[in-house]
């Protein structure tokens, strides 16, 4: 279970996400595409998670390198 607290100027929101540990790789990457999840936007739009690819952390003046994914 991951906990995240978002603080703003006037209030605090406590968010909690439960994730099957089988979806978490040794480097901490969460494979949402393997979780069979459905996402929604507003009240009438639905999406399926599909991994396009992984890239290393962006650094100025360096070409992005692909990360492995299994």
The C-alpha R_g of the chain, in whole angstroms, comes to 16
- pLDDT tens digits, one per residue of 44-65: 899 888 888 888 888 899 898 9
Separation in Å, CA 57 to CA 21, 31, 66: 23, 17, 10
Q: What DSSP element (H or E) covers 48?
A: strand 45-48
Single pTM value for the model: 0.56
Is the pLDDT at 41 greater than 60? The verdict is: yes
């Amino acid at each position: 279970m991951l906990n995240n607290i978002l603080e703003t100027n006037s209030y605090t929101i406590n968010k909690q996400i439960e994730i099957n540990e089988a979806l978490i790789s040794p480097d901490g990457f969460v494979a949402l595409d393997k979780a069979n999840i459905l996402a929604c936007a507003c009240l009438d739009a639905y999406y399926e998670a599909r991994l396009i690819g992984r890239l290393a952390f962006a650094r100025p003046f360096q070409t992005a390198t692909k990360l492995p994914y299994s």
